[in-house]
Amino acid sequence: MTMRVFVIDTRNMGPELQGGLIGVVGSVFPTAEEKKECVETVSRYAGDGWAIAADPRTLIGRLAALTAETAAVPFLALDRVAAQWGSVIGGQPASVDRALS
C-alpha cells in the first residue's frame, strides 16, 4: 500500500476543523520515500491551516501526528475514533478521495 490522503468533509464538525481535514494512511512498513511524501504532504496542508487525521499506532500516523504538532494544527487520532465509533479502516471514504501527485 502506498500512502493515501483523503479529504474529509468537515461541514458538520466543530469550528477548529472548518479550515479542512485530511486523513493520512500508509503501509505498515513505509519506505523512506513514503515517509518523505508524508511529511511533505502533511506540511503542505498544515501550512494552509488544514487539520490532520491519522492512526498514531502506525509509523505513517505517528509521523503525520508529529508533523501536525510541529505545524500547530489540530490532529485527530483515528485510533480513538475507532475505539469509540468502530473501525475507520476499509470500505469507501465517506467524503471525497483526492489523489495527490
Residues 6+ apart with CB under 8 A from 43: 67, 71
- Specify burial of residue 29 (Cβ count, 10 A radius: 0-12, 13-18, 19+): exposed
Q: How far apart are CA 96 and CA 37, in angstroms?
A: 20
**Which residues in the chain show pLDDT less than 70?**
1, 80-101
Contacts of 33 (CB under 8 A, 6+ apart): none
pLDDT at residue number 1: 64
Q: Which amino acid is at 92?
A: Q
The phi, psi pair for 25, rounded to 5°, reads -130, 155
The predicted pLDDT at position 88 comes to: 44
**How far apart, in whole angstroms, are the C-alpha atoms of residue 74 and residue 92?**
24
